[in-house]
Amino acid sequence: MHDKTLAELSAGLAAGEFSSVELTRHFLGRIERFDGQLNSFITVTAEPALAQALAADERRRRGEAGPLTGIPLAQKDIFCTDGVRTSCASKMLDNFIAPYDATVVAQCNAAGMVMLGKTNMDEFAMGSSNETSYFGPVKNPWDTVAVPGGSSGGSAAAVAARLTPAATGTDTGGSIRQPAALCGISGIKPTYGRVSRYGMIAFASSLDQAGPMARTAEDCALLLGAIAGFDPRDSTSVEREVPDYRAALGNDLKGLKIGLPKEYFGAGLDPAVAQAVEAAINEYRKLGAEVVEISLPNTGLAVPTYYVVAPAECSSNLSRMDGVRFGYRCDNPKDLEDLYKRSRGEGFGPEVKRRIMIGTYALSAGYYDAYYLKAQQMRQLISDDFRRAFETVDVIMGPTSPTVAFNAGEKTDDPVAMYLADVYTIAANLAGLPGMSIPAGFVGNRPVGLQLIGNYFDEARLLNVAHQYQLTTDWHQRAPQGFE
């Protein structure tokens, strides 16, 4: 059962080949058996999952099942889940049991999906390797000495190892796409505002966006349809109809114009990764697409811009973790200042502290104009690059990550090297554009991801472009060994 895609599982449930309870038991069994090697889950919710599965089977008997009813999934531990610990992979929220469901979670529940548990991640989504988690690093199922990417590394590893058919992720600077690439799965970061942020613990509010992670583009289409849409509780969500993403998967690619930004193929890109990406582009030529070189001249500004905007917003967003109302509180505080200093000093990990300090500095009087304001101007330049590009092309393609998965510990002492790993993914967040990563080959035994960036609210096209490639290739069907 675990080799089936979400679409196949949906069909199997509908045909009565298996029940949701059987399916849920199967995946819970796999988590039990294999997650010791991966550490992809922070919390496994076996009992509530079985109760949800039972309810899903009952719903099906009543004839009220939808396409996702009874299908298990894992939620990234950044989404608040009513009555279940929501830790954000931090000591700070180790004891935090959310009293409400995030909108994304509520929508999955409403569709009748079964939550297997909460996946591991970088602490407060800050990291590109899943090494900053308070609950320990996640291993890449393709090679357990390698990182799975981050911050949605637990979700990516769990999907890749077939511990869950699908998972949710969040992407602030590549946190869906980069781990999807490094773990050989598919993942889409929708347009900013497409999916509600309510109940998703904020890292950088103007960049954060939730999205699905699964094995295929078709599965992503199914799941995105369930979680997308306007939410009156999120002022930045957009009131715009959600198309039937799955129905849009049948279009051929004749005449599709693909732009390759020359800046995405320059220095820093691993030649072996470049080779795999070029092979994928050739596949698209065969499918009838027209490929042109384009330029995104301000690409070099993306990483520095991001590392002002994201820390600035996070320094403010994380202020509520003060030891007063919820979360970690230090023992025996002497006074208020001691309570703040030690609760935060002991509750946050080093990467989170680093970003809070950078952000606090960037927003300080006398520096605000030089950093935050300047970064907002750079952000506009980056958006303008894309606007011009989409006047002539339909989709932008390139590598998701400059390298395949690196080894654990390799970049932990060099934060800047770690930050540079996000060079291709960050710009889409700054511009608010949808981006996707799909499997496109291997370097050795480590997967390569192809990135697709679309115009605003063009998710349907992105998913179809990815799907057409997956109809003629089998990279997305490869499974890591050792999890049979």
Partner 1 sequence: MDWETVIGLEIHAQLATRSKIFSGASTAFGAAPNTQACAVDLGLPGVLPVLNREVVRMAAKFGLAIGATVAPRSVFARKNYFYPDLPKGYQISQYELPVVANGHIDIELEDGSTKRIGVTRAHLEEDAGKSLHEDFHGMTGIDLNRAGTPLLEIVSEPDMRSAREAVAYMKRIHELVRYIEICDGNMQEGSFRCDANVSVRPKGQKEFGTRAEIKNINSFRFVEKAIDYEVERQIALIESGGKVVQETRLYDPDRDETRSMRAKEEANDYRYFPDPDLLPVVIEPSFIEAVRATLPELPEAKRQRFVSEYELFPYDAGFLTASRELADYFEAVVKAVGAEAKLCANWVMGDLSASLNRDGKDVSDSPVSSAMLAGMIRRITDNTISGKIAKEVFEAMWNGEGDADAVIDKKGLRQITDTDAIEKIVDEILAANPDNVAAYRSGKDKLFGFFVGQAMKATQGKANPQQLNDLLKKKLSG
How many distinct helices (H) and strands (E) make up the chain? 15, 11
Distance CA 306, CA 233 (A): 26
Tokens of 214: 């699964």
- For residue 312, state whether it binds partner 1 (rule: CB under 8 A): yes
Give the nearest distance from C-beta 105 to partner 1 in angstroms.
Answer: 10
Determine the Cα–Cα distance for residues 124 and 110; give it in Å rounded to an integer.
26
Least separation in angstroms between residue 375's CB and partner 1 is 11
x/- mask, partner 1, residues 102-141, rule CB under 8 A, reads: x---------------------------------------
Interface with partner 1 (CB under 8 A), residue from 29, 357, 368, 471 = 368
Based on the shown chain and the rule CB under 8 A, indicate whether residue 332 belongs to the binding site for partner 1.
Answer: no
Contacting partner 1 (CB under 8 A), which of 363, 389, 420, 443?
363
Residue 356: closest CA among 368, 366, 346, 344 = 344
Residue 99 interacts with partner 1 (CB under 8 A): yes or no:
yes
- The DSSP secondary structure of 402-446, one letter per residue, reads SSSPPBTTSSTT-HHHHHHTTTTTHHHHHHT--EEEEEEEEETTE
- Element at 43 (helix H, strand E): strand 41-44
Q: Which residue reads 């449930």 in tokens?
A: 13
Within positions 206 to 235, which residues make up the interface with partner 1, using CB under 8 A?
206, 232-235
Residues 371-430 that bind partner 1 (CB under 8 A): 372
**What's the min distance (Å) between Cβ of 71 and partner 1?**
24
Amino acid at 6: L
Which of 76, 118, 139, 189 is catalytic? The answer is 76
Window contacting partner 1 (CB under 8 A); options: 130-138, 173-181, 200-208, 275-283? 200-208
Report d(CA 367, CA 365) in Å as an integer: 6
- From the list 90-98, 245-253, 394-402, 419-427, the region that binds partner 1 by CB under 8 A is 90-98
Q: Which of 19, 20, 40, 175 is catalytic?
A: 175
Which phi-psi region, left, alpha or beta, contains residue 255 (left: φ > 0; alpha: ψ -120 to 50)? Answer: left
What are 324's two structure tokens? 């007063």
Q: How far is CA 422 from the centre of its chain?
A: 13
Question: Does 329 interact with partner 1 (rule: CB under 8 A)?
Answer: no
Identify the residue among 38, 71, 80, 450 touching partner 1 (CB under 8 A). 80
Instruction: Kindly state the smallest distance separating residue 442's Cβ from partner 1, in Å.
Output: 37
Question: Shortest approach of partner 1 to residue 413 CB, angstroms?
Answer: 30
Question: Is 151 a residue of the active site?
Answer: yes
Torsion from C-alpha of 98, 99, 103, 109, nearest 10 degrees: 100
| Residues belonging to the active site | 76, 151, 175
Q: Summarize as ranges the residues that interact with partner 1 (CB under 8 A).
A: 79-80, 86, 88, 93, 96, 98-100, 102, 197-202, 204-206, 232-236, 312-313, 315-316, 318-322, 324-327, 336, 340, 360, 363-365, 368, 372
